[in-house]
Structure 1
């Protein structure tokens, strides 16, 4: 990963953090939904 990509990534994360309860919380919700869907498919 070069420096420009890293800086763009950090800028995107900071932008996502604005007005969001928590990016980690949103990611955890996505993971939980994915795992439930995966269990249901088996």
Structure 2
């Protein structure tokens, strides 16, 4: 049971980290587009 809880925790942490990375990459893409426009 303990290992299951740890697996759940690491999975949720991994998921939120992926969301953060996606957010950051979309931000940098937007910034790059703005630079290209200028």
Please state which band the TM-score falls in when normalised by the shorter chain. 0.5 to 0.7
- Structure 1 segments, 4+ long, off by >4 Å, are none
Unaligned runs of 5+ in 1: 1-13
Instruction: Point out the structure with the larger helix share.
Output: 2
Structure 2 length-normalised TM: 0.55
CA RMSD after TM alignment: 1.9
**Larger Cα-atom Rg:** 2
- Structure with the greater relative contact order (CA < 8 A, sep ≥ 6): 1 or 2? 1
Between the two proteins, the alignment pairs up a number of residues equal to 24
